[in-house]
Amino acid sequence: MKVLVVGSGGREHAIVKKLKESPKVTEVLAAPGNAGIAREARVVPVEVDNLSGLLEIALREKVDLTVVGPELPLTLGIVDYFNEHGLLVFGPGRDAAQIEGSKSFAKELMRENGIPTAFYETFTDYNEAREYVYRKGVPIVIKADGLAAGKGVYVCQELEEAVKALNDIFVKRIFGAAGNKVVIEEYLEGQEVSVLAFTDGETVVQMVPAQDHKRVFNNDQGPNTGGMGAYAPAPVYTPEIAERVQREILLPTLKGLKRRGITYRGVLYAGLILTREGPKVLEFNARFGDPETQVILPLLKTDLVEIMLAVVEKRLSAVNIEFLPKACATVVLASGGYPGKYETGKVIHGLDRLPPGVVAYHAGTAFNGDDIVTAGGRVLNITAVGDTLKAAVELAYEGVKAVSFEGMHYRTDIGQKALKLQ
């Protein structure tokens, strides 16, 4: 099989690497890819939102399966577009991808189907939203409704922060049209966990649970990012909680979409918070998480292509999905200034000196002559598998020591919440 992977980040690098392990795969193409992906796949310089350009490649190259990494092409309808041309794609259609593309759509779906989530209201007017915040008080959570690359969520502990968030979204319009509407939610307390599941619309199979680290600095300080590191499995997510999530969240979500005439196929990602009352949904994503994918796929024992084909062909119940009884950790190396303004083009040193067992998934890299240079906010995901989480975390940080670039910063506490539980 020839497989096309759409995307250019660490998630896509991890997907490419995993697909290449399958005996079914003869070649992997990636669009647009990055410097790391280029060492494992044939990269094609077509951006993820250029659907006609991507279709042209898929048809010209006679691609057997397309795997979509990021949310943007999904919400633009790449799956429907490719299907119309007789092509197989792993991922949800445009209607189903609204679960991520519009936070208000997801919240309404949850409200309709009794799926546990934070109480919320939606607003399109700055003054009304501000008045509501003053009435409700803090802590409070403010979210831009549309896609904002993981940066559109404000957890506000002070009223001034909440007003600034509304000002950013409505007045400064830092997220553009994604901020035409905001969702304002009650603040929930508890540990967060990322639960990704394969589904063909009927069967739902949870992957190993992961925990992401969204804030930029240690001890969950500073602004939200796309994710500064992750580990799996998350010990806080017990088999009892997993069973409850299946029953109260994942299956009712699929049934609720079905009632709206939508069949969801692909990866359904539930960002959960484990409250005193039980698990509640913070957000849904319509694809593999980033950086969670980088710690989940290295633990996947079953052939990923087998699973993806079973999802596309609606026969997931026939596949036995297994994970290794090990742990995996990844540390994100970011550009100086991220998640704010940052410079690119910094030469990366030490990628050839990684300790055995450490993998560097490339998130934002490019070639400059023979050098590999930084090309994004999140640059590398230094990843390791171990028999225990402690071993995986220690090995990943050994890998971090080998790598350097000007302005590089990273969190030094990835996995610590879990290690304290053990």
Predicted confidence (pLDDT) per residue in 47-76, tens digit:
999 999 999 999 999 999 999 999 999 999
pLDDT of residue 147 exceeding 90: no
Query: How many helices (H) does the chain have, and how many strands (E)?
Result: 14, 22
**Which are the contacts of 95, defined by CB distance < 8 A and separation ≥ 6?**
260, 261, 262
Alpha-carbon gap, residue 391 to 84, rounded angstroms: 47
Q: What confidence score (pLDDT) does residue 12 get?
A: 98
Q: Are 380 and 362 in contact (CB under 8 A)?
A: yes
Tens-place pLDDT, residues 385-420: 999 999 999 999 999 999 999 999 999 999 998 998
35: left (phi over 0), alpha (psi -120 to 50) or beta: alpha
Q: Phi-psi category of 31—alpha, beta or left, where left has phi over 0 and alpha has psi -120 to 50?
A: beta
What's the pLDDT band for 422 if we cut at 50, 70, 90?
low
Is the model's pLDDT at 150 over the cut of 80? no
Decide: residue 60, CB within 10 A, 0-12 exposed, 13-18 middle, 19+ buried: exposed
Distance CA 385, CA 397 (A): 12
* C-beta of residue 60 within 8 angstroms of C-beta of residue 52: no
Q: What pLDDT digit, counting tens, does each position of 285-333 carry?
A: 999 999 999 999 999 999 999 999 999 999 999 999 999 999 999 999 9
List CB contacts of 159: < 8 A, sequence separation 6 or more. 133, 134, 137, 138
Asked whether the whole model's pTM tops 0.95, one would answer no
* CB-based contact 257:265 (threshold 8 Å): no
Dist CA 383 CA 102 (whole Å): 32
CB 330 within 8 A of CB 385: no
Length of the chain: 422
Q: Taking residues 119-133, what's their average pLDDT? A: 93
Question: How far apart, in whole angstroms, are the C-alpha atoms of residue 382 and residue 331?
Answer: 5
Q: How confident is the model at residue 362 (pLDDT cuts 50, 70, 90)?
A: very high
